[in-house]
């Protein structure tokens, strides 16, 4: 009877900020190719949404001198849930604070993962309001499907590179109520990657061992199509317009995602998710562990070609930039 | 701060019992065409699963003299959740009782909807154990994908015909924690249909006004493909083998399901769900209401042809059988 | 040994002219929704191509006061083949003449079907020359796939309404070398429709009995996707932007086409062809005849809903306009 | 006026014989996984067809001690065409003879490519006659679509490994009327591969330089789905049942085929063709030549991962077996 009940206090991954050193090209990618709709641009950041994203934005695209991930914003399941999770974060001993004034939502609690990835948790949100021209007859669709590119439907998840997978995951499990759905462990060594969720999705966030860098980086941000055919159309278009496809379209064993990984012109890896993967409804779900043997026999790729070496080492900021940033930060600190 | 938090005590629709007067033909349909795997057959009922269903069965196919739905079985989210929901049902004043011995799960609480549809809520469950030959290398898949027919992946939802949509829905909302995601109301009249869920799915159960019968009937039971192309393959196969397609493949506005409705040889309407529809993560979701105007302008069918008249009146048991059953029941009752 | 060998003198349907009374809206449909690329506009007509069409244009869109079809242009298989077919047409007794100056090709022989549809047969053609930006890395693709709408790949076929199906078909068979691949004949009555081709395609031209008008009209012009999924995407988009879908996406038994019929804003029916249908390589192919019984049991629609009544009577020019045009022509003739 | 007209004397690739040292496993693959239907088995060979193949068989599966290709059988376009092509072959100086008694067709002319691949050209053919149970309502379909595996629709093409690509191709062009649609030539060296057709298909036969063996081997035999989604389904199934996928599902630039290459259990490489590629209707088509630069930038693979090294060297018989066979043949010849 001591069954540990799932916490349902985090509702969804709502918004992610990406840095780009090539704003115009990145904007072209998200707007013209992925068909995303800009809400506003404050000169520093442009805010965009997929056509079934419900809020002010799901992507904050920020002009910067290097690629990478900025704030990751989660919506709480209720005002009460927000308070409960803040209490849990504070009890964990990690620093955090309430912040105001972020575009798209109200008061938010800001904290970081052990690796340093900035997170926001909020309740009050600004909904997207379509213009008369944008309004869809489909009640569940916040705006008409655009006529540009091969349009993505909604934000799905992100994958963060970190120095210690287990530690970062445990923090998200303990404080935010995430469940670990799948992971990769080779021969009793440290966890190489894990996939965590607060919903029937297999993951809203994944952590991957940063094998080439200092951690606190981005592996990828994923948008969702839910549709295999659109992935093939997108791949066709990406080849025509010289956007680098790193891998796919292909199917992962892990998460059963039909995936494609591309580098947006600013350098960030973007995953396009081309089906529904599988959904987890079983409340007794136990973490599925891929070992060296089965990861390379269906786990990494179920079908559709191999994952190239870059997939395991490339992230943003790229290592040199990440190293410089880390050093600059170190120098700033009151070096005794 | 008085935001009403969602109850997460029902985890999923686990199993549904269907009655069939043509067992052999129905078995052929579920086994050879939908590729389901039988677990056991006790002479009265045969128990089958889709290849990604995790438990002993998701379909209990029972030999009977007429078509229709039997027990609808829900899995609770925890032992505690089970107790909480039973308390709520008991508090509602509707009768119920604990039952034992149903194949596939342990002790269950049995109750009925206001219309009389029998429901079970349980926690202890029997997992499917694949034979060595059946075992998949894909860790999240309980068995290999079969080589028969166009195999369905998992049970999805059911739609129940009832005499009073709002009343039945309210019971499921109040006692089981369902949320009303979409509904149909024409000109201030009674609710014609509504779609309810306990998860990001738009519905695990729907209620539809029984316009041709006494209520307490089945509109349809749905299995999930999550994939548009497989629906076209299935339609091709159904035409070849003379299984009646009532409507589709086509896309509903309601739920955004890419659907097909067929009559299995025993007479029950089966829906095949051919994509992922849309998922609801917004905790402030408000019921989407389709009116006469927009239901016939994208709601009923977003694209792919019209819903035929049968869709609105046919159910199982068919009306004559339902009437007889109701009468027989009435006669049995101590008519004073 | 007296086997009648196939004539291979007509290579392909190259170009079709459509009249539209709503040029701007029609242009939006072909350019923004079907993703076609304009080559030039001479003020009267705009010339467009699908991205895998190889010549100057495949669609000549002409400003007019009513919808309908203009010149239908066929490319001969060689200069010699052109001469042979002209000889055959002349031998048939139907009038014809050499014309010059049509955009996109050189000298052409102009003639009409018995019903009066204007046809051109030519050899010398102007190839599309992509700009540097338009050039694709895919050698077989004359230009990059566009980023607009859901782009069609190439022109496929057209279906002409006529007063006497058999007579028109026979003319195309006898003079141009078409083969009759399938047809519809109910109970020994006149042929209702037939599908003719000069290649392994089931048809480049079809003739349908004009049941509501005087004949010499257009049933539809078809563009090809070759892909089921893109049809579902297009249907989604058409619903959003209020383009009338008459039928589909669905699969014909006849020709095995996965089809959708829409009315472009100017009123012409356009078919979108969403797979490869089937191809005919057997040189002993015998016309497949659909009767009343099997046409309504898989022939008209194999799956995906019924063909509405409009499908059997609507054409362009619409009947009133067609009647007026016929009358005006009649009045002009005696001209004193 | 000296335009060289296309010869249309070869109608189609009708049948191919494969040798297998593991008959039972190979039969399981073609029957249970690819859903092919056996017509008869004479103890040495089993004859199978895809469900839209029209003749007695398209695959002759022969028990043997090594994998490889046997007779390749082409249907002529007419009895006259057969005579014309035989005359051309005889005029070419290559040996040939009339043979009788092959299952599925009548008198045939047997000859070899310069590399030694055995070919038959015939006219009289035996059509497949479905049993009452097999008969489809779809007039263009010779039998119902099977309920086994992911069934292929028809035979498509084959690719032969040879010692001199240009020489073998030229023979097929000069004597049989094939046209060279695409080829690969690196830096002025010998042709590495070319694709030839007698119809709008890009190829019914391809020749590839045998870089690892003596030539006169099989690269692959291809069956056609015409459908992207079915390829993903098949890939899923192949992974489950441990059939080796060498590459794909992915899209070639050459031929625009959406392909997958697998090794059937007997060792022969089989290609599954998952869309319609593109079709050639232009009578002035000029061979598209891929160079080192563009072959590795979209030609070999347009999207979907790289072609592994095996793709360029593996063939059947495998090299050792091929070498032994060649030696054995050499030893037998002088026969003292």
Q: Which domains are delineated in chain B?
A: 10-137+153-321 (3.10.180.10)
Low-confidence ranges of chain A (pLDDT < 70): 1, 321-336
* 8 A C-beta contact, residue A129 and residue A136: no
* 8 A C-beta contact, residue A296 and residue A186: no
Which of D277, D317, D82 is CA-nearest to residue D181?
D277
Which of C281, C234, C235, C273 is CA-nearest to residue C256?
C273
| DSSP-assigned states of every residue in B116-142 | --EEEEES-BPBP---TTT--SSTT-S
Q: How far apart are CA C10 and CA C16, in angstroms?
A: 15
Low-confidence ranges of chain B (pLDDT < 50): 333-336
Tokens of A147: 């006529």
Q: How confident is the prediction for chain C on average, in pLDDT? A: 95
Nearest to A6 among B8, B125, B227 (CB): B8
**Sheet containing C191-197: order of strands:** C245-251, C258-263, C269-273, C217-224, C154-162, C205-209, C191-197, C179-185, C288-290
Q: How far apart are CA D168 and CA C163, in angstroms?
A: 52
Q: How many residues does the structure list for chain B?
A: 336
Which pLDDT belongs to residue D331? 62
Which pLDDT belongs to residue A193? 98
Which pLDDT belongs to residue A336? 36
* 8 A C-beta contact, residue A78 and residue B5: yes
Whole-number Cα distances in Å, B275 to A225, A227, A278, B255, D235: 11, 7, 12, 11, 19
Subunits adjacent to chain C (3 or more Cβ pairs under 8 Å)? A, B, D
Which of A78, A74, A80, A84 is CA-nearest to residue A111?
A74
pTM: 0.95
For chain A, what is the total number of helices (H) and then of strands (E)? 7, 17
Q: How far apart are CA A83 and CA A89, in angstroms?
A: 10
Give the pLDDT mean for C8-32. 98
Which pLDDT belongs to residue A188? 83
Burial of B131 (0-12, 13-18, 19+ CB in 10 A): exposed
* 8 A C-beta contact, residue C57 and residue C47: yes
* 8 A C-beta contact, residue A311 and residue A305: no
Whole-number Cα distances in Å, C144 to A240, B36, B100, C36, C50: 6, 44, 65, 11, 10
Digit-coded pLDDT (tens) for C82-105? 999 999 999 999 999 999 999 999
Contact residues, chain B, for D148 at CB < 8 Å: 147-148
Give the pLDDT mean for C246-267. 97
pLDDT band of C31, cuts 50, 70, 90: very high
Whole-number Cα distances in Å, D259 to C201, D205, D271: 22, 16, 7
In chain C, % of residues over pLDDT 90: 93
Phi-psi domain of C304 (left: phi exceeds 0; alpha: psi -120 through 50; beta: other): left
Determine, for residues D276 and C226 on separate chains, whether the beta-carbon distance falls below 8 Å. yes
Which pLDDT belongs to residue A75? 98
Q: How far apart are CA A168 and CA A92, in angstroms?
A: 13
Determine, for residues A233 and C230 on separate chains, whether the beta-carbon distance falls below 8 Å. yes
Segment among B192-201, C162-171, C323-332 with least mean pLDDT: C323-332
Nearest to A303 among D235, D258, D302 (CB): D235
Digit-coded pLDDT (tens) for D277-290? 999 999 999 999 99
Digit-coded pLDDT (tens) for D4-53? 999 999 999 999 999 999 999 999 999 999 999 999 999 999 999 999 99
Which pLDDT belongs to residue A319? 86
Q: How confident is the prediction for chain D on average, in pLDDT? A: 95
pLDDT band of D208, cuts 50, 70, 90: very high
Q: How far apart are CA C124 and CA C107, in angstroms?
A: 7
Which pLDDT belongs to residue A307? 94
Which of B174, C227, D280, B224 is CA-nearest to residue A226?
B224
Which pLDDT belongs to residue D323? 65
Which pLDDT belongs to residue D276? 85
Digit-coded pLDDT (tens) for C129-160? 999 999 999 999 999 999 999 999 999 999 99
Which of B240, C253, B232 is CA-nearest to residue D226?
B232
- According to the per-residue pLDDT averaged within each range, which of B332-336, D303-307, D317-321 is highest? D303-307
Nearest to A298 among D239, D249, D306 (CB): D239
Interface of A with C (CB under 8 A): 32-33, 136-138, 144-145, 147-149, 227-230, 232-233, 236-237, 239-241
Q: How far apart are CA A243 and CA A238, in angstroms?
A: 5
Which pLDDT belongs to residue D233? 97
Start-to-end C-alpha separation, chain D: 58
Tokens of D234: 């098949």
Helix (H, G, I), strand (E, B), or coil: what is residue D216? coil
Q: How far apart are CA C251 and CA C258, in angstroms?
A: 4
Q: How far is A311 from chain B (nearest CA, A)?
A: 21
Which pLDDT belongs to residue B78? 98
Subunits adjacent to chain B (3 or more Cβ pairs under 8 Å)? A, C, D
Give the pLDDT mean for C68-77. 98
Digit-coded pLDDT (tens) for B161-175? 999 999 999 999 999
Q: What is the complex's ipTM, to 2 decimals? A: 0.94
Digit-coded pLDDT (tens) for D228-274? 999 999 999 999 999 999 999 999 999 999 999 999 999 999 999 99
Which pLDDT belongs to residue B108? 98
């Amino acid at each position: 009877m001591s069954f540990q009940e799932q916490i349902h206090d985090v509702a969804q991954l709502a918004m992610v900020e990406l840095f780009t050193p090539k704003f115009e090209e990145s904007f072209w990618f998200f707007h013209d190719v992925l068909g995303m709709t800009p809400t506003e641009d404050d000169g520093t950041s442009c805010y965009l949404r997929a056509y079934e994203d419900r809020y002010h934005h799901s992507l904050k695209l920020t002009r910067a001198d290097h690629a990478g991930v900025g704030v990751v914003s989660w919506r709480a399941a209720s005002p009460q849930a927000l308070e409960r999770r803040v209490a849990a974060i504070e009890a964990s001993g990690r620093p955090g604070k309430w912040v105001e004034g972020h575009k798209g939502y109200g008061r938010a609690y800001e904290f970081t993962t052990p690796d340093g990835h900035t997170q926001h948790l909020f309740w009050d949100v600004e909904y997207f309001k379509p213009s008369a021209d944008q309004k869809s007859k489909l009640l569940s669709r916040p705006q008409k499907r655009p006529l540009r590119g091969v349009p993505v439907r909604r934000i799905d998840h992100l994958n963060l590179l970190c120095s210690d997978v287990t530690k970062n995951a445990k923090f998200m499990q303990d404080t935010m109520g995430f469940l670990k759905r799948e992971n990769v462990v080779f021969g009793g060594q440290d966890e190489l990657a894990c996939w965590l969720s607060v919903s029937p999705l297999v993951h809203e966030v994944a952590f991957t061992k940063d094998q080439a860098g200092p951690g606190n980086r981005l592996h990828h941000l994923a948008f969702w199509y839910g549709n295999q055919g659109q992935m093939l159309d997108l791949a066709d278009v990406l080849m025509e317009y010289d956007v680098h496809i790193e891998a796919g379209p292909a199917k992962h064993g892990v998460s059963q995602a039909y995936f494609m990984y591309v580098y947006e012109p600013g350098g960030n890896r973007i995953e396009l998710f081309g089906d529904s993967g599988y959904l987890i409804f079983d409340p007794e779900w136990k973490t599925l562990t891929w070992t060296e043997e089965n990861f390379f026999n269906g786990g990494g790729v179920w079908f559709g070609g191999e994952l190239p070496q870059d997939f395991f080492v490339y992230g943003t900021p790229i290592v040199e930039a990440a190293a410089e940033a880390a050093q600059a930060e170190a120098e700033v600190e009151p070096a005794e």
